[in-house]
Structure 1
């Protein structure tokens, strides 16, 4: 019962993500959210104290966060999507962009992918990604609060990971910087359908590392608590394997490189 179905895996390969409801208990989300509320310096019962559109909190490894990241259902899903023994169990979750209802521009609502190496460079737009997703096996979204359509859910361009794989391939091992990837505003993915990462507290979205996504302003009434950690690989992804035992992450990249781009 903990395993992803064949249709879920096929959806991940084609669309770039899979949603897992009740991936960790609501009680764990409640415990974690209480810690996060404390660190925002704001009062959960007094909206007058919610003075910023977004507050970014760091890495959290306390028990509720470690418990959320290592449930049997998630571990089974990670084995299926990345490969048994090919990923490192998360020890921390973060960062947490906590979004509050606001009419202010949060200043971070552009389309992007998350870089995976070169992060020692102080200029984050110089961080890099390559076609083998060096340093990142997945992007993960952990919902620590209920997130409806008006609660600033992450926007996802379904299937955009295929476009990014084709964009990265000619750059080889060196890959491209975020500045290079964003040079045209990710226009090559604009034809993709948009999906909102909504769900109840305890929902997790497991996303292909090349999936194009975006924040958005919060127009609801309930602050949104979400972690967006990477899943780190225990070994590099490989696009050529003896025996052909490719993970769904690798299958998606290989499939993208063997097909023509979809019409816009």
Structure 2
């Protein structure tokens, strides 16, 4: 399992900022997880009249189905190849789930952004959390599909290759980095990038570079979307300069972004 990803997939990750792994965890595990999530939404699965909000955010999920989903042999092998053996921490929770429902309402959270990874002055204010050039605290952005997601089911939008642009934006800020909002306000520099949608069957996982620009969108389909977006936490900061030249794909992409 140590060579799960092909050279082509590794190169795609470096250049595009993401790879899609189908069947990364079993569909029956996704079904078990959905049953827990449906109960916590307070909505009835077969009664759309109870789906009155465009999005419901559910809390921290670490029950058995979610731990199973996050810790398959396939994912662990991919983590080793993209981040480096011993460079990531086991994922014990899938964090929050923004469950999206078919709705004509604006969900109010569909702006382009890069997920922050360490606290700023106020740890309780996520908008003040920060991102730096070494991606302190975060090894990967991950998208876990717990339901089938088509083009109309509010799939996450991804700007292909935007992680290269973001590395260039972050470099002048050094170790202090930029806040979530400071960086978000500069992401119009990635407007020229091609957009793809994170679609797939339940059990699909998108493994993304931590600097990848992405965005939510309204749900125009008929089936609620269940997806987790947890970080893969890093055991130590990424390095832009290594004496042995043994860079991970995440580090190679950062180096490309800053012109090395």
Q: What is the TM-score of this pair, normalised by structure 2?
A: 0.97
The equivalences for 1:58-97 within 5 A come to: 58-97=59-98
For 1:49 and 1:180, the matched residues in 2 are separated by 37
Aligned counterpart, 1:158: 160
Aligned counterpart, 1:215: 216
For 1:176 and 1:60, the matched residues in 2 are separated by 28
For 1:176 and 1:230, the matched residues in 2 are separated by 18
Aligned counterpart, 2:18: 17
Could you give the per-residue CA deviations for residues 174-197 of structure 1, whole angstroms, max 9, x where no partner exists?
11112211224x110000000000
Q: Which runs of 5+ in 2 are unaligned?
A: none
Aligned counterpart, 1:173: 175
Moved more, 240-249 or 162-171: 240-249
Report SS of the residue matched to 1:137: strand
The equivalences for 1:1-264 within 5 A come to: 3-118=4-119, 120-184=122-186, 186-258=187-259
For 1:242 and 1:142, the matched residues in 2 are separated by 35
Could you give the per-residue CA deviations for residues 138-169 of structure 1, whole angstroms, max 9, x where no partner exists?
00000000000000000000000000000000
For 2:12 and 2:111, the matched residues in 1 are separated by 25
Aligned counterpart, 1:262: none
Q: What is the TM-score of this pair, normalised by structure 1?
A: 0.96
Report SS of the residue matched to 2:165: helix
User: Using a 3 Å threshold, how does the CA distance of structure 1 residues 152 and 137 change in structure 2: closer, same or farther?
Assistant: same
For 1:246 and 1:93, the matched residues in 2 are separated by 27
For 1:122 and 1:226, the matched residues in 2 are separated by 23
For 2:22 and 2:183, the matched residues in 1 are separated by 32
Could you give the per-residue CA deviations for residues 208-248 of structure 1, whole angstroms, max 9, x where no partner exists?
00000000000000000000000001111111112111100
Q: Which runs of 5+ in 1 are unaligned?
A: 260-264
Moved more, 242-251 or 192-201: 242-251
**Pairwise CA RMSD of aligned residues?**
1.1
